[in-house]
Structure 1
């Protein structure tokens, strides 16, 4: 019985969505309004579609199609988020740095 209580629910996220969104808003505040808006849209998409461990298994093409943005703009957003160590990219995945 004790083992069951210590397990994390499969639907429980290990990251705070509100904290991450606030950090992203801060990082994108120095960017253009369009880039900031797309950055926030991407992060909301990420939160909705990522695994509970904070990993998104989607290609750039799938993401651009799903949220209707250009490849170039998404790449800029991802590079900004990587430089601030919010996300990392490895071989077809986008992951969230641990809090």
Structure 2
């Protein structure tokens, strides 16, 4: 039971959904409306589907199919989030940088 409590506490301590959404809205405010919408759509998808450690085990192809967006737009969103150090990408995973 203690392990579960620590994992739940760790998740809320490492990243706040509201803070991430707020930061992403700020980063995408200078982008096109479509890119900003896709960015928010992706972040919501990420937060719903990532592990408690903030890691998403999905390929770009799987994500584009799941949330019905183009590969090119998702790639742009991911590159923006990566450059702002919100996420990192490694062989088949997308992870959230810890605060």
- Cα distance in 1 for residues equivalent to 2:7 and 2:50: 15
SS class of match (2:6): coil
Cα RMSD, aligned residues only: 2.1
Shift in alpha-carbon separation, 1:11–1:49, aligned structure 2, 3 A? farther
Unaligned runs of 5+ in 1: none
TM-score normalised by L of structure 1: 0.90
Which residue is equivalent to 1:84? Answer: 84
SS class of match (1:8): helix
Q: Which of the two has higher C-alpha Rg?
A: 1
Runs of 4+ in 1 over 3 A off after TM superposition: 9-12
More helix by share: 2
TM-score normalised by L of structure 2: 0.90
Which residue is equivalent to 1:42? Answer: 42
